[in-house]
Amino acid sequence: MTTPAFPEGVKRCGNGQFILWLLPAFLVLLIAVYAMFRVWFYGLNQTNMNDAYGFAIWIWADLAVIALGGGAFFSGFLAYIIGVKNVKNIINFAVVLGVVCYTSALLILGLDVGQPLRGWFIFWHANIHSMLTEVAFCLTIYLGVLIVEFIPVILENPKIQKNRFFHHMAHNMHEIMAVFAATGVFLSFFHQGSLGGVPGVLYGRPFAFREGLFIWPWTFFLFTWSAAAVGPLFTATMCRLAEFITGKRLVKDDVYRLLAKISGWMLLTYIIAKSIDTIYWATVTAPARGFTLMDFYSNNPAYYGIWILIAEILICGFLPALILITQKGRENKKLLFGAAILAIIGLCINRWVMVLQVLAAPLKPFQEEWFVYSPAWTEVITTILPVAYGIILISLAYRFLPLFPQERELNP
C-alpha cells in the first residue's frame, strides 16, 4: 500500500500486517520493561551476578552493541570525511542502527549500576583517569551526535516535509552534516578505544591486562580497529536481513561489495595485530606474572577451552577476512554474508572473553575453581531488549522514512 505518510514512490505492507509483525517484539519489550523495573525497584539481587562477577552479560552486551553500532561512525567517516559516495546509499540505515545500539547501551548501563539515581556522579565527580569516565562522556555526547544525524532523516518524511520550517531545517542540517559526522568519528574513536581500555588497564587481572602506548593499553587500539572493521559488516548484514524480510532490494550489490572490501582489509589488519598482541601476551606478559597460556584455557567448566581462541582468531577472524579481501568472495553473496556473520560472531566472542573470561579465571592458586556464572532471566530478557526495540524502531523508520535512496530504482 502507499499513503502520503510513506516515502515517495515506495510500497509498504498494510497496517494490519505491520502491527502483526511488531506484536512479538512488543511482547518481548513488555516483559523486558517489567524485568527492568524489578531490577530498579528491588536492586541487583534480581540478577545472578555476584562478588566474582561484578561485570556480566550486560557489560558484554554493552561492549558488543557499541562495537556493532560502530558501523554508524565508520560509515559516516567513509561517506562524509573520505568522500566515498556509494556509502551514502546506506548511511541513513547505519545511523538508525547506531541510534538503536547506543540508546540500548546507555539503557543497559543505567540498569547495571547499583545506585541508578546517582548515575550523574560519573559526570559530576568525574575521575579523569578512569576509562569508564571517558566511555560515559564520549558515549553520551556521541549519542547526541547520532540523534542530530537522525533528525534530518526523520524530517524527510513526506508529511513533515510539507511544513516549510521542517523542510528547510532538514535541508540545512544535511548541509552541515559533515561537521557532525567528523565530531562523531572523533568521539567514536575515543569511546571504542576506552571500552578496550576498560579491561586492558586491569593490571590485577592478567588475562585482561596489556601493555601499551603511553596511558593506552593495546586493547584500546584493538577495540577501535575491530569496531571500525566489523561495524560496517553488521550494517550490511542487517540491511540484507531487511531485504529478506521485506522481500525487496534496498541497496545495490556494489554498496555491499564496497563495504565488504573496506571491512575485509580492516579485519585482516586487525586480526594480524590481534594475533601479535595475543602472542606477546602469552609469551611475555602472562608468564611474567606466573601464568602460562593454557592456565587460562584449561581445567575449567568446559566452555573456556582453547577452542574459543581458535574460534575468535582463525575461524571468525582470518577466515572471513580472507574471504572478504578476494573479489570472488565478495561477488558471491552467500560467501560475503557468511563471512560477515563470522566476523560479527568473532567480535562478540572477543568482547565476551574480555569481560567474562577475565573474571572467570581464578588468580589465587589456593582457589583453583573457575568462577561460574549463568545469567538470570532478568538479565537475559533485558539483553534481548535491544533486539526487540531495534526491530520496532527500524521497522517504523523503514515504513515512514526514506532510509534507502536506491529503493525506488531497485523496485520499480
Query: Which helix (H) or strand (E) segment is 78 a member of?
Result: none
Residue located via cell numbers 572477543: 350
Q: How far apart are the C-alpha atoms of 318 and 316, rounded to whole Å? A: 7
Position 118 contacts other proteins (CB under 8 A): yes
The neighbouring-strand residues paired with 212 are 217
Q: Cβ atoms within 10 A of the Cβ of 242, count? A: 18
Asked if residues 385 and 28 have their Cβ atoms less than 8 Å apart, the reply is yes
Q: How far apart are the C-alpha atoms of 176 and 183, rounded to whole Å? A: 11
Q: How far apart are the C-alpha atoms of 375 and 63, rounded to whole Å? A: 17
Footprint (CB under 8 A) of other proteins, residues 162-221: 198, 201-206
Residue number, 318 or 371, with CB nearest to other proteins: 371
Binding test (CB under 8 A) with other proteins, winner from 19, 176, 363, 396 = 363
Binding test (CB under 8 A) with other proteins, winner from 67, 108, 122, 271 = 122
Q: Cβ atoms within 10 A of the Cβ of 327, count? A: 9
Binding test (CB under 8 A) with other proteins, winner from 28, 57, 87, 136 = 136
- Which residue intervals of 115-201 are DSSP H helices? 121-124, 131-155, 158-161, 164-175, 177-200
Range in contact with other proteins (rule: CB under 8 A) among 13-21, 121-129, 216-224, 317-325: 121-129
Query: Would you state the cell numbers that stand for residue 338, as one nine-digit string?
Result: 557468511
Position 288 contacts other proteins (CB under 8 A): yes
Cα three-residue angle 298-303-305, rounded to 5 degrees: 35
Binding test (CB under 8 A) with other proteins, winner from 54, 83, 301, 305 = 54
Binding test (CB under 8 A) with other proteins, winner from 14, 364, 369, 412 = 364
Q: How far apart are the C-alpha atoms of 319 and 317, rounded to whole Å? A: 6
Range in contact with other proteins (rule: CB under 8 A) among 92-100, 108-116, 309-317, 392-400: 108-116
Binding test (CB under 8 A) with other proteins, winner from 132, 141, 169, 322 = 132
Range in contact with other proteins (rule: CB under 8 A) among 61-69, 127-135, 229-237, 396-404: 127-135
State the minimum distance, in angstroms, from the CB of residue 82 to other proteins. Answer: 34
Residue number, 122 or 255, with CB nearest to other proteins: 122
List residues binding other proteins (CB under 8 A).
43-45, 50-55, 112-116, 118-119, 121-122, 124-127, 129-133, 136, 198, 201-206, 287-292, 295, 358-359, 363-367, 371
